[in-house]
Every structure is written in C-alpha cells, then in structure tokens.
C-alpha cells in the first residue's frame, strides 16, 4: 500500500507531518492492506473566515474498485487529519470487513457450498448405546 501526503502552501509541517501521517495510516489501515493499493492525503486551508478552515481529504484506492474519499474540517491540521482518518476507518470497515466477517467468523455469503446438496435439511436418526432411537439431528 502506497501512501502519499499532499499539502497546500498554507499548511506547515513538512517532512515531519508527512512521516507522522504515513506511519499512522500504515498502522491503522494495516488490516485493509490486501485491498488498498494507494492512499492519498490532502491537507489544506480553506482561507475563509470560518473557525474550522483546515481541511483533510483522504482518498483510498482499492484495487479494481471505485476510490473511497472522506473529508473532515477542523480548527487545526491535527484534528482535521484525525477526523478524516477515523471516518476512513469506519467506511472501509463497513465496506470490506463486514462483507467478509460476521461476528468473528465467515458469513454465509462466503461459506463453501455443501458437499452433497441433496442432504441439506435431511433429518438423521441414530441409535443410542441401548440400541434405541436417539435424538434426531439435522445434517
């Protein structure tokens, strides 16, 4: 996963800011590294008279799918980045993790098909130790 950090001329931070953002995104998005090919971070200042004039846009590009972009406005660059990173984590989590994982295990959409489709739903009875019928159980 390649991470690119872009800033406009009003944002100061240089190499230290880029290193921090890169390291933080690598750790927070590591579970999505198999899906993401590139992440772009754009930090800018709107220059308006609003108190929340810092903006962070993070665009994640999954391989073979449409890019995902989130935006967050805040009063500081750190808050704008943190808000956008949190939003991106939630969006990617809902888009990828939940599709492949359901309460800690594979979802039914991704389970392998049964070996013998004719036996699905057939109730089997077995003999217990006395030779009598045991509880029926579905196969």
Which tens digit of pLDDT belongs to each residue from 17-65? 889 999 999 999 888 888 889 999 999 987 766 767 889 999 999 888 8
pTM above 0.85, yes or no: no
Farthest CA pair distance, the chain: 86
* Cα–Cα dist 37/22, whole Å: 14
Q: How many CB atoms lie within 10 A of CB 132?
A: 7
**Which of the four pLDDT bands, split at 50, 70 and 90, describes residue 117?**
low
């Amino acid at each position: 996963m390649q991470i690119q950090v872009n800033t406009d001329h009003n944002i100061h931070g240089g190499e230290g800011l880029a290193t921090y953002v890169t390291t933080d995104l690598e750790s927070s998005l590591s579970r999505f590294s198999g899906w993401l090919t590139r992440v772009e971070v754009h930090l800018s200042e709107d220059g308006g008279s609003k108190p929340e004039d810092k903006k962070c846009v993070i665009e994640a590009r999954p391989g073979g799918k449409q890019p995902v972009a989130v935006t967050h406005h805040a009063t500081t660059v750190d808050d704008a980045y943190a808000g956008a990173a949190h939003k991106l984590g939630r969006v990617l989590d809902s888009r990828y993790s939940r599709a492949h994982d359901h309460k800690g295990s594979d979802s039914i959409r991704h389970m392998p098909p049964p070996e013998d489709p004719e036996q699905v739903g057939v109730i089997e009875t077995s003999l217990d130790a006395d030779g009598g019928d045991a509880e029926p159980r579905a196969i």
